[in-house]
Structure 1
Amino acid sequence: MSDERQGQGQGQGEPQAVVRVVVADDQTAVREALATVLDLQPGVEVVATAKDGGEAVRAAEEHSPDVILMDLNMPRMDGVEATRLLTERFPQVAVVVLTTFADEEYILAALGAGARGYLTKESGRQDITRAVRVAAAGQSVLDPAVRDRLVAAAARGGAPVERSGSGLAPDLTPREVEVLTLIGEGLTNRGIAERLVVSEATVKTHINNLFAKAHLRDRAHAVKYAFIHGLVKTPG
């Protein structure tokens, strides 16, 4: 069974919107360390921990978290299968993968299963905390090392990348393709707005439109889509 926890970082004067988190990792020391670090962050509460994917799914049902921080290599039910089940049963719960694996097959499998974020365990506590908050706000986050691996995979031919712009949703406008390309390059909404000299509100409108036309769930899947369709230039 998942371990229920009381948030240690909750105090008077905190914002009412607390991000509820489940930490899933089969290594007890890692699981408890992550839970402790997150519990100490203002506005974050770890409501349960889980030592495998099955426990993570049950914790989502019992505790209604906003975010599940998910390891991939776990016994009985791994993180990819758990992410797939969570996406189907609890689409309001954001899964952020936190793993030692940064190989493209793991990344693509996790994103394909519905993960909203992907970090490696080399990430610092600030990066992990930020990823939890970003995911809870409905956005996606990719570790820079993960994005670099996807680019490298495309350069090696390890991902099914098409020639630039081929196979895109046919009704995407040139501006939407431009925005998609910048998402693939890792720019934030603010960065895209500055690059295109438009407002962030305009960028959000373009993103909403292109997500609908290309049937993209979130930013992580938009990055993958940009790579697959050759919009992001590979190194070399």
Structure 2
Amino acid sequence: MEANAIGVSVGVEVIRRTVPSGLKWLSAYARGVEMLIVGPGDVGKTSISDYLQFGMLETYQQHEKTLEIQNSKTFQISIGRDEALKLRVRRTIDVPGQTGPVEHANLVRERRPHCVLIVLDSSKPIDTVSRWLSPFCERLDHIYREDSRLLKKNRGLFVALNKRDAVRRTTDFDARQRHVKKCLVNGLGDVIGKQSAKAIPVMPTIAVQSRDGSELLDSLIRKVAKQVSR
């Protein structure tokens, strides 16, 4: 039996979240991924983590700061009317933003996640984004060089350029997206390969109730599911 099932219709597609129990919980835990969610403070990491688990978004409001690492329960997301695509999540690991990019990268070595979701604020100036992302990538490069097993375990790096609705001009958002991709290639291209670094998804998201919020986050979920599910 599965508890707390939440089904969301997306056009002709259905996204259904469940918290499995019993043997299904054991299976979801054993096959599930640990997702480390990192990024600066006040970029929407907790909101995205909550949406992954519960499928609900809050209205615009000031959130309390995350002061310590938050681990989610095990859950499963089934995508499509036949539920052929599944994202099993052993846990999401939501990291406080104030600890800084180097400390966030160090958690990759400490927590050994299957995938990493980097959340950035697309409304911030490009140099502000770089000041966080560049040292994160530099430190992650060093960690992967020290422990090749971590790199082999990694099933995917993803970037959510959040607060897309706060960037009015498409050209401005596109410039930020290109800059983030450049930072990823410069910082991680040597250790994971330039083509792999170029292929890291950098996706727009809106982690509050809005016309496009759920649609953009569901696109991120589908991208993650297709890449990390085994």
Query: Which TM class, normalised by the smaller chain length?
Result: 0.3 to 0.5
TM-score of the superposed pair, with normalisation by structure 2: 0.46
TM-score of the superposed pair, with normalisation by structure 1: 0.45
Which of the pair has the greater relative contact order for Cα pairs under 8 Å at 6+ separation? 2
Structure (1 or 2) with the greater strand fraction: 2
Larger Rg: 1
